[in-house]
Amino acid sequence: MILESMLQKHFGFSSFRAGQKEVIASLLGGQCTLAMLPTGSGKSLCYQLPAYIINKTIVIVSPLLSLMQDQAEQLKMRGEKKVITLNSFLSPQQKQAALKQLGNYRFIFLSPEMLRMRSVMSALKRLDIGLFVVDEAHCISQWGYDFRPDYLNLGGFRAALGEPLTLALTASATAEVRKDILEKLGLNGSNQIITSIDRSNIAITVEKVASYEDKLERVIQVASEMKGSGIIYFSSKKLAESVAAMLTEKGINDVGYYHGGMEQEQRMLIQQQFLGGQIRIICATSAFGMGINKEDVRFVVHFHLPMGMEAYVQEIGRAGRDGKQSIAILIYCEGDEGLPLRLAEQELPTDIQIIESCRFLSHHDHKPSQLPKSLQLDLMSKFSLNETQIRFILAFIKDGNPAEKAEEMRVYVQNRKLIKQDKFTAFYHWFQSSNCRRELLLTYFQEEKQEIIPYCCDNCGFSITRLLEEMPGEINQSSNGGLYFSWKKELEAILFSKRAVNDEK
Amino acid sequence: MITSYFQAAILQCIERFAGQRSIYGIYHLLKGKKSSQTIQDGQLFDLSIFFAVFPDAKRSSIEKAINELRQYGYINKLDAEYHYHITSSGKDSLEQFYLENPLPADLDGWQFHSFAPVFWDRFTLLVQSLSNIVHGVKSFYPIQKNWNVQQWVKAYLRREHTERTYMAAKFYEELVMLLETRQPNERDIFVLKLTGSRRAGYTNEQIGRMIGIPAANVRFLFTGTLHYIVKTVLANEDKYPRISALIGDLTGLEEKPLTNSARVTLKYINDGRELPEIAQIRRLKISTIEDHIVEIAFSLKDFSIERYVSDDLAAVIIKVAADLRTKQLKEIKQQIDHTASYFQIRLVLAKMGDIA
């Protein structure tokens, strides 16, 4: 009961969501904990609430800059001032100033590479760390779908900090990955709190179409039929843009697109328009969604195939966070499997690229981590490496000897490619199967289907018309600036409250 | 037909460069490369308003635009690789484009490229904050993620105790004064890009659709508006006390426009070191130090080049450059029988740019 009143006081919620209370109780009992809670179920509350009880510094390691900033931003919005994010955006002076007064913060967010800095580690060592949080903990496992080499050292850093109470958070990890997380972090014997990844309010459907044109047709149909807001996922930036344009052309006005290639400001505007209901549908690459909390997303469409079950579950999990009926639609056309396989291939360098790059690097005196931009470009064009590939190569070698690292990297890459292929193969079998999709999906995560769900999946069968009827339609659509508008009126609307404007009249 | 300011800017650069610089000179200028060569090109050919006004230009986008201009017959290829010449139909077309799409008044990339974005980041976050405050919204998701900008706006609001509806009204007044003299499109774009409590700002593309122009032109016109605002409020601080306060702290930091490395070289020169000596101390090539000196000569009016070029030689170079109507080093050097080095010619031209 005390926890509930804390929840009310600090976060304004009256009850916990599944798993949250168990995780918090486990932590408050002094137990290191691995928590697997589905996306959008309030994972961050699991460390935010204890922070006010433990009353010591909370250190949160997060793999993605944007994610980290979003979480810090959300805390600040709630009125928490003692939040800092340590990342590469800070100038050396700012970093120094921040480190000096690190003890004044309640929440310290940092990226794993910050921990590699001696100044950061020594500042952290001086603190009384009440809780060490590893967000997106599956990134530590080579068996995970989003392995980050930077995460491998976290166990070592944790030990160097005196093995503080630790919370490893993830949204989707198979049993194998969970075991790996515990091992790598030195958490063997910890509590595991695993909630089901199942989201019973999301109907799961796979639709097969005969041609690319049919696929476009179907997207138009979905976009006009669905009443609420939705995300359409693409693997290509260009297509996200062009399909958005096509939908607009078809008279669906409230569509936008979002991908990593856009200017930061434009991305931010689109994101906020979507959150505020100015645009209803967003055509996006997987860059969209992390850290975005929109409760009333009604549908998620996959125009392209995701790389595996984990990615799929994450992406469809952005629908229906308000618990209301929602739907996930994957549109498949024969031959679609080529793209994810190709993309997976391009994420990592080939054998020849590895060997040649390492030879190139060993001829230069620069440490790979400090390779000047010009040499990077040179290297990229010589061996036609893309951004992801070169970043990988340099990060892998770090400050090591390139010549010695080549073989290790080659073996590692081969291994990663195999794992990725396996992940996709599992997904391939899943969407080709004629058995209950939910059950198969749960089996993949070593879970069992519990309840009977009225709108389960296309293989179980349900009436889509009925589902559409049951789907809450109304969204808070804010007025979209009409064709005619006056700049002065618009400015007035921004800077004056209605009352003030009326008073003046 | 030219449809974008981007094409127009490239065409105008080709016209002014008159075959003396390659398309990559244009690329560096539009992108805003802070090298002495690029900075000087801007001044010498009177193109510095375009400095850094297309910061996300890519080599490929320039090449694409060049191809289009060629196909239209607006430019001709010259013997030297990547060098072009404007044709008379190109000139006509450029004139026609500017007639229908005037360059935003007060656009000046070289002067304002570094202020304008900071000003906008602060302004848009401050407006969003005020909008939410006057509408009684307590928490909102900031439109600017940059930590420095957030800190700045927070500090501003802490420092200024003015009642917020009054403050918002004052910003409104100043902004209306500023925008009233602008072209309708520019006014619309600026206001539509702002984020308030009830709606987020629109993207360039959305605005383009709303007012019927390409997204790239929206961006360009907006850049012009920003330059105008920065320029106007800095020159009339008493008239725009609030908006000028958003950039006041930036102007103090505006040091002489030198690259860092050139600044170090200047320090050695002032200490009385000779050119080769500086190269040796700094472990840099002589040619690099020469680049620095050209940059310094160009940027600092009172920097004397006497110790590198005699007055007589300088006079000859100036005359030849004027007679030949060229700024191409090779031609000048041939004309004066190689009595001056490239370095010396560049120095003199840099000083001339100063006069022009």
Query: What are chain A's domains?
Result: 2-194 (3.40.50.300), 202-339 (3.40.50.300)
Instruction: State how far the Cα of B95 lies from the Cα of B102, in Å rounded to an integer.
Output: 10
Query: Looking at residue A427, what DSSP letter applies?
Result: H
**Which two tokens mark B77?**
């290829």
B93 versus B313: which is more confidently predicted? B93
Residues 6+ apart with CB under 8 A from A194: A35, A36, A178
Average pLDDT taken over every residue of chain B: 89
Where residue B353 falls among pLDDT bands split at 50, 70, 90?
low
pLDDT score for A40: 67
Among A35-39, A419-423, B13-17, B49-53, name the one with the lowest average pLDDT.
Answer: A35-39
Chain B residues in contact with A487 by the CB 8 A cut-off are: 179, 184, 187-188, 190-191
* B194 at A interface, C-beta within 8 A: yes
Among A113-117, A134-138, A212-216, name the one with the lowest average pLDDT.
Answer: A113-117
- What percent of chain A stands above pLDDT 90? 53
- Tell me which chain A residue has its CA closest to the CA of residue B193: A269
Instruction: State how far the Cα of B328 lies from the Cα of A342, in Å rounded to an integer.
Output: 49
- What percent of chain A stands above pLDDT 70? 95
User: How much is the ipTM here?
Assistant: 0.79
Give the pLDDT confidence of B302-343 residue by residue, as tens digits.
788 888 888 888 888 888 888 887 777 888 888 888 888 989
B5-103, which class in CATH? Answer: mainly alpha
> What is the distance between the terminal CA atoms of chain A, rounded to a whole angstrom?
53
Q: Which range is most confident: A226-230, A232-236, A370-374, A386-390?
A: A232-236
Q: Is the pLDDT of residue B69 over 90?
A: yes
pLDDT score for A271: 93
Q: Is the pLDDT of residue A473 over 50?
A: yes
Average pLDDT, stretch A207-226? 95
Instruction: State how far the Cα of A465 lies from the Cα of A483, in Å rounded to an integer.
Output: 34
Give the pLDDT confidence of A153-185 residue by residue, as tens digits.
899 999 999 999 999 999 888 888 999 999 999
Closest C-alpha among A113, A36, A47, A111 to residue A80: A47
Does B5-103 match B260-355 in CATH topology?
yes
Where residue B122 falls among pLDDT bands split at 50, 70, 90?
very high
pLDDT score for B355: 39
Instruction: State how far the Cα of B124 lies from the Cα of B206, in Å rounded to an integer.
Output: 18
Chain A residues in contact with B130 by the CB 8 A cut-off are: 495
* B33 at A interface, C-beta within 8 A: no
| Chain pair A-B, CB pairs under 8 angstroms | 100
User: Looking at chain B from residue 196 to 225, which residues have their Cβ under 8 Å from any Cβ of chain A?
Assistant: 196-206, 209-210
Give the pLDDT confidence of A350-405 residue by residue, as tens digits.
999 999 999 988 888 777 777 877 888 888 888 989 888 888 888 788 778 888 88
Calculate how close chain B gets to A67, using CA atoms only, in Å. 12
The residue to which tokens 């209605």 are assigned = A498
Instruction: State how far the Cα of B178 lies from the Cα of A16, in Å rounded to an integer.
Output: 51
Query: Looking at residue B200, what DSSP letter applies?
Result: P
Q: Is the pLDDT of residue B43 over 80?
A: yes
Identity at A411, one-letter amino acid code: V
Calculate how close chain B gets to A192, using CA atoms only, in Å. 34
Yes or no: say if B29 and B38 are a contact pair by the CB < 8 Å rule: yes
Number of residues that make up chain B: 356
Q: Is the pLDDT of residue A482 over 60?
A: no
B27 versus B1: which is more confidently predicted? B27
What is the SS3 assignment for A230? strand
Spell out the long-range contacts of B36-42 with Cβ–Cβ below 8 A and sequence spacing 24 or more: B36/B259, B36/B262, B36/B291, B36/B292, B36/B294, B36/B295, B36/B298, B37/B291, B39/B110, B39/B257, B39/B295, B39/B298, B39/B299, B40/B294, B40/B295, B40/B298, B40/B349, B40/B350, B40/B353, B41/B17, B42/B109, B42/B110
A384 versus A216: which is more confidently predicted? A216
B144, B195, B196 member nearest A493 (Cβ): B196
Residues 6+ apart with CB under 8 A from B344: B308, B309, B313, B317
Q: Is the pLDDT of residue B40 over 90?
A: no
Torsion over CA: A235, A238, A241, A245 (sign): negative
Where residue B354 falls among pLDDT bands split at 50, 70, 90?
very low
Q: Is the pLDDT of residue A501 over 60?
A: no
> What is the distance between the terminal CA atoms of chain B, rounded to a whole angstrom?
32
- Tell me which chain A residue has its CA closest to the CA of residue B171: A495
**Which two tokens mark B71?**
């196909």
Yes or no: say if A227 and A276 are a contact pair by the CB < 8 Å rule: no
Q: Is the pLDDT of residue A122 over 90?
A: yes
Average pLDDT, stretch A331-343? 92
pLDDT score for A502: 52
Quickly list DSSP for A78-91: TT---EEEESTTS-
- Domain residues of chain B, as ranges? 5-103, 115-251, 260-355
B260-355, which class in CATH? Answer: mainly alpha
Other beta carbons less than 10 A from residue A252's beta carbon: 15
pLDDT score for A345: 84
Q: Is the pLDDT of residue B54 over 50?
A: yes
